[in-house]
Amino acid sequence: MKYTLVETSDDEKDFGRKAADVFRQSLMKYADPYVALPTGKTPLPLYRQLVEDGAENLPSFSYGQIDEYLGLPAHHPKLFLEEMKVHLLGPLGIKISSSFNSAALSFDTPERDFDIAVLGIGRNGHVGFNEPGSDFNSVTRIVALSAKTIEDNKTDWNEALYGAFPTHAVTRGLGELRSAKSTILLVRGQAKAEILAQAFAGPQCEFVPASCLQAQPDLTIVADHSALSILRL
Ligand code: PGA
C-alpha cells in the first residue's frame, strides 16, 4: 500500500491550510476536473480556508455530490447539498455537475468518473454512506443508515427545527468512489484514530469500508495529530 501522508497539528487552521494546499495541487493535475466533496465536520476547515483564499486562487472544477439524506423537503437546511452551498459552492461560485434530489425514489449512476474524490471517514469506517458490509464494487444506491451513523450525525440535529432524523440516504458506491484518479482522505480528531488505523494498518475488509482505499493509485491522507495517534504507533 502506498499513500502520501500529510500530518497537521490539531489546530483547525493548520489542517485547513494544509488540506487546501493538497487540494489545489490535485486540481492542477486535471483539465476541467470533476470532484467529489464530502460534508460533515471534518472538511469545514478546508472549506473555510478555500473561501478565505478566494475564487481567484482556486483552479476551476465542477462538483459532484457523494451522498444525501432522503425524505427531506427541497431547501431543508440539513440537506448536504444546502450545507455545501453555504460553506463552499455559493461563496466560490463552483459549478454543480451532479447532485441528488432528496425526494427521488431512484438514482442514476454517475455520467463520468470522478477525477478527484475528497472523502471523510465515519467512526464505523463508512465512506459516503457506504456502511460496514458494503461491497467494494458497490454503485449508487439507497441505503439504511446504521445506528452508529445516526448517533453521530444526530448530535447537531434539532428535531423541533428539522423534523425526524432521516433513516435512509443515497450514496455513491465504493466502486464509483474508487474510480477516482486521485483520492484525498481527510481525518480529524481522536475519535477517528482507531478506525483510521484499522483502515490502513489492517487487512482490506468490507466491514471497514475505508480499507478499500488502500488500493487507490494516488491517495493522500491529510490527518491531524490526534487522528494519527494509533496509525503511527
Ligand atoms: P464527520 O463525518 O466529518 O462529521 O466526522 C464524517 C463521515 O461521517 O464521513
Three-state SS string over the chain comes to: CCCEEEEECCCHHHHHHHHHHHHHHHHCCCCCCEEEECCCCCCHHHHHHHHHHCHHHCCCCEEEECEEECCCCCCCCCCHHHHHHHHHHHHHCCEEEECCCCCCCCCCCCCCCCCEEEECCCCCCCECCECCCCCCCCCCEEEECCHHHHHHHHHHCCHHHHCCCCCEEEECCHHHHHCCCEEEEEECCHHHHHHHHHHHHCCCECCEHHHHHHHCCCEEEEEECCCCCCCCC
pLDDT (average), residues 171-179: 98
Q: What percent of the chain has pLDDT over 70?
A: 100
**pTM strictly above 0.85:** yes
pLDDT band, residue 233 (cuts 50/70/90) = low
For the chain, give the number of residues.
233
The residue assigned the cell 440537506 is 79
pLDDT at residue 195 greater than cutoff 70: yes
Q: Which residue has the cell 444525501?
A: 68
pLDDT at 148: 87
Residue 78 confidence (pLDDT)? 96
Q: What is the pLDDT of residue 110?
A: 87
pLDDT at site 33? 98
Q: Select from 69, 152, 153, 195 the residue to mutate for testing ligand 1; criterion: most ligand atoms less than 8 Å from CB.
A: 152
Q: For the sheet containing 141-144, what is the strand order?
A: 67-69, 168-171, 141-144
Q: Which three cell numbers stand for residue 99?
A: 447532485
Confidence of residue 130 (pLDDT cuts 50, 70, 90): very high
Task: Express each pLDDT in 202-225 by its tens digit.
Answer: 999 999 999 999 999 999 999 999
Q: Atom of ligand 1 at shortest distance to CA of 38?
A: 9
Cα–Cα distances (Å) from 180 to 18, 118, 132, 137, 204, in that order, read 21, 9, 21, 13, 18
Q: Give 15: exposed, middle or buried? Use CB within 10 Å, 0-12, 13-18, 19+.
A: buried
Pocket lining for ligand 1, CB < 6 angstroms: 40-42, 120-122, 126
What number does the ligand 1 atom closest to the CA of 153 have?
4
Catalytic residue among 68, 82, 115, 131: 131
Looking at the DSSP bridge assignments, the partners of residue 219 are 183
Rounded to an integer, the average pLDDT of 23-29 is: 98
Side-chain half-sphere exposure of 181, counting CA atoms within 13 A: 13
Note the pLDDT of residue 34.
Answer: 98
Per-residue model confidence (pLDDT) at position 180: 98
Q: List pLDDT tens digits, range 76-85.
A: 999 999 999 9
- For 148, counting Cβ atoms within 10 Å of its Cβ (0-12 exposed, 13-18 middle, 19+ buried), the class is middle
Is the confidence at residue 49, as pLDDT, over 80? yes
pLDDT, residue 1, reads 73
Model confidence at 91: pLDDT above 80? yes
Residue with cell 463508512: 126
Burial classification of residue 16, based on how many CB atoms lie within 10 Å of its CB (0-12 exposed, 13-18 middle, 19 or more buried): buried
The mean pLDDT value of the chain amounts to 96
Average pLDDT of 172-186?
A: 98
Residue of 87, 124, 152, 224 marked active site: 124
